[in-house]
Amino acid sequence: MNQTSVTLDEIGISKAIQESGRYESVRNKMLSISDKEERLAFRRKAGAVKYTVGSVHAVSKEGQILIASQTGSQLSPYAYSAAKVIWVVGTQKIVKNLDEAFRRIKEYVFPS
């Protein structure tokens, strides 16, 4: 399952997972279900995938990782339900400390 991520989109990972045929895309399967109740049931089950690929919004030099989410959908697999989590993180997301991490989220992820 690839999580929604500008980082993954920009470097082509989302497309590779969803379109290459090399992977069984849980996202594609979920989007192909037209029945609302069936899709909801599948979404609940999809939270416990073998692998989830995504990104984070800031990593402090102290080792703190910050993830901000509009819907919260990627938090469950990241925190406890995916067997393996792969984060793709650009160097622009590395910050000095937690204060800078929150500032980065406020300025880039959820600007006012």
Asked whether residue 98 carries a pLDDT value surpassing 90, the answer given is yes
Question: What pTM, to 2 d.p., does this model score?
Answer: 0.77
Q: What is the pLDDT of residue 47?
A: 66
Provide the 8-state DSSP code for 96.
S
pLDDT at 92 over 80: yes
Domain layout of the chain by residue ranges: 6-109
CA–CA dist 46, 5 (Å, integer): 17
100: region left, alpha or beta (phi > 0 left; psi from -120 to 50 alpha): alpha
For 33-89, the pLDDT digits (tens) are 988 888 888 877 776 788 889 999 999 999 999 998 888 778 888 888 888 999 999
For residue 93, give both structure tokens.
Answer: 């997301």
Query: Among all chains, which residue has been given the structure tokens 């609940």?
Result: 44
SS3 52: strand
- Is the CB of residue 65 less than 8 Å from the CB of residue 108? no
pLDDT at residue 107 tops 70: yes
Kindly report, residue by residue over 9-30, the tens digit of the pLDDT. 999 999 999 999 898 888 888 8
